[in-house]
A and B are shown apart, each in its own frame.
Chain A
């Protein structure tokens, strides 16, 4: 269970996230949707305690992230702009993260296998392709076999095979009663994956509910997205 309670984040005069309130339930995949610059990544950084909220709070299982002992064993996250140092080998990157939360070393091989990076384990991550880096990020999130998965734009850079794999993986993950929150700027991407969607535009939540309810009355998923985020999208494109 993830709860945002009136989270506001300002960077100087810019309000990136404005009184954001919503909850993410276990056992379901929740899509966090919004156009570029809507405030998705900022909300997730606040949730993980990386950025300090100007006001409000975000909780995981009733606790602030920073109050979790060995947080990676409860929460796995793929964040935007949180990547491996290019000089380090993929396996070494996972090794230090695992060690920090007393996760058995054997998990490193397991998660590399799960994302199809076993052969690249000894390569420096600077040599990885975009998709391989994304897979490494997903492997990082899975290290602690967490109850809660938070993935910021997980399909970025993935090929069709990778996209299909992550979709069925996330459905299975939620199916076992776990909490999955993933962000995207593409409504269509969520169609086969999400049960619930939370739509954010210009830092404000504009819709929150079951995917079917949100898209009802719109000819397509894309139309629903533009109708809900219209004002924000126009600002960007015109």
Chain B
């Protein structure tokens, strides 16, 4: 598969992404939320009650990572809308080689996610004086987005991946974190927290390197399963 054969379908996918309003809304929400969180953390105007007295919100990793779920909606929409009104039939009529279609779409969503990460992450990190951590955040954001992307292809919908990815950290992690820390710490959300150095709890902490590895595993498995299903299924 030569690069030239990907130019046209990648350009088409970029038009698809650019002309989907939901995507711009997700981006606006992610930028606004993350910038606001950065400002709050920087000025320390809000403090959270904790065991050792009030702490700055910077200590609340789960909250600081919340905007990623608006951000990953971009990738989830890209995949999930293929199943709205049967768009996938049009996509595959236009680009019938399924490996080629999948490669082009993945490339387009990587480009767009990378571009979108700039306004989502930079103001937040600058406000917090943490720009040195950009690499870790970028990795966490992109890998979570890819996890949602593959999931949306497998589930053939937009709602399930976002609901599952965002609800698991709230429901499962809080209740099971103490019971099965070894399981909970390898869930995508916890692995991402470990990767950016803000584990919710020492019990569910991994080293940043291990967090990166686990999260890369989730993204790889998810994108692979989604891709294999699209390649094999009738549409």
Residues of A within 8 A of B (CB): 11, 45, 48-52, 65-66, 68, 71-72, 77, 79, 81-89, 92-93, 95-97, 99-102, 140
**B8 within 8 Å of A (CB atoms):** yes
Which of A48, A72, A85, A101 contacts B85, CB < 8 Å? Answer: A85
Which of B20, B86, B87, B96 contacts A71, CB < 8 Å? Answer: B96
Whether the pair B15, A95 counts as a contact (CB closer than 8 A) is yes
Note all chain A residues with C-beta closer than 8 A to B235: 45, 50-51
* Nearest CB on A from B6, distance (A): 11
Note all chain B residues with C-beta closer than 8 A to A85: 20, 81, 84-85, 87
Whether the pair B20, A88 counts as a contact (CB closer than 8 A) is yes
Would A66 and B97 be within 8 Å (CB), given that A50-B92, A50-B234, A85-B87 are in contact?
A: yes
Whether the pair B19, A88 counts as a contact (CB closer than 8 A) is yes
* Nearest CB on B from A156, distance (A): 15
Note all chain B residues with C-beta closer than 8 A to A84: 85, 87, 90
Cα A87 to Cα B93 in complex, Å, equals 21
Max count, chain B CB within 10 A of own CB: residue among A45, A50, A68, A96? A96
Cα A92 to Cα B89 in complex, Å, equals 17
Residues of B within 8 A of A (CB): 8-9, 11-13, 15-16, 19-22, 81, 84-87, 89-97, 234-235
Whether the pair B85, A97 counts as a contact (CB closer than 8 A) is no
Whether the pair A68, B96 counts as a contact (CB closer than 8 A) is yes
Q: List 25 A-B pairs, Cβ < 8 Å.
A: A50-B89, A50-B93, A50-B234, A50-B235, A51-B234, A52-B234, A68-B96, A72-B94, A81-B85, A81-B86, A82-B86, A82-B89, A83-B85, A83-B90, A84-B85, A85-B84, A85-B85, A86-B85, A88-B16, A92-B19, A95-B19, A97-B94, A99-B8, A100-B9, A100-B91
Which of A87, A95, A140 contacts B20, CB < 8 Å? Answer: A87
Cα A140 to Cα B85 in complex, Å, equals 15
* Nearest CB on B from A152, distance (A): 11
Whether the pair B15, A81 counts as a contact (CB closer than 8 A) is no
* Nearest CB on A from B89, distance (A): 4
Cα A71 to Cα B19 in complex, Å, equals 24
Note all chain B residues with C-beta closer than 8 A to A45: 89, 234-235
Whether the pair A83, B234 counts as a contact (CB closer than 8 A) is no
Note all chain B residues with C-beta closer than 8 A to A83: 85-87, 90
- In the complex formed, the residue of A with least CB distance to B8 is A102
Cα A187 to Cα B20 in complex, Å, equals 40
Cα A40 to Cα B201 in complex, Å, equals 59
Cα A71 to Cα B90 in complex, Å, equals 12
Cα A159 to Cα B210 in complex, Å, equals 63
- In the complex formed, the residue of B with least CB distance to A100 is B12
Note all chain B residues with C-beta closer than 8 A to A50: 89, 92-93, 234-235
* Nearest CB on B from A125, distance (A): 9
9 further A-B pairs in the complex, CB-CB below 8 A; given A11-B234, A79-B86: A71-B93, A81-B89, A82-B85, A95-B15, A96-B16, A100-B91, A100-B95, A101-B94, A102-B8
Max count, chain B CB within 10 A of own CB: residue among A84, A100, A102? A100
Cα A77 to Cα B16 in complex, Å, equals 20
Cα A92 to Cα B87 in complex, Å, equals 13
Which of A95, A101, A140 contacts B8, CB < 8 Å? Answer: A101
Which of B9, B90, B95 contacts A140, CB < 8 Å? Answer: B90
Whether the pair A89, B12 counts as a contact (CB closer than 8 A) is no
Whether the pair A71, B94 counts as a contact (CB closer than 8 A) is yes
- In the complex formed, the residue of B with least CB distance to A88 is B19
Whether the pair A92, B93 counts as a contact (CB closer than 8 A) is no
- In the complex formed, the residue of B with least CB distance to A81 is B86
Whether the pair A77, B93 counts as a contact (CB closer than 8 A) is yes
- In the complex formed, the residue of B with least CB distance to A68 is B96
Would A49 and B92 be within 8 Å (CB), given that A82-B86, A85-B81, A102-B8 are in contact?
A: yes
* Nearest CB on A from B100, distance (A): 10
Note all chain B residues with C-beta closer than 8 A to A89: 19
Cα A66 to Cα B98 in complex, Å, equals 9
* Nearest CB on A from B97, distance (A): 6
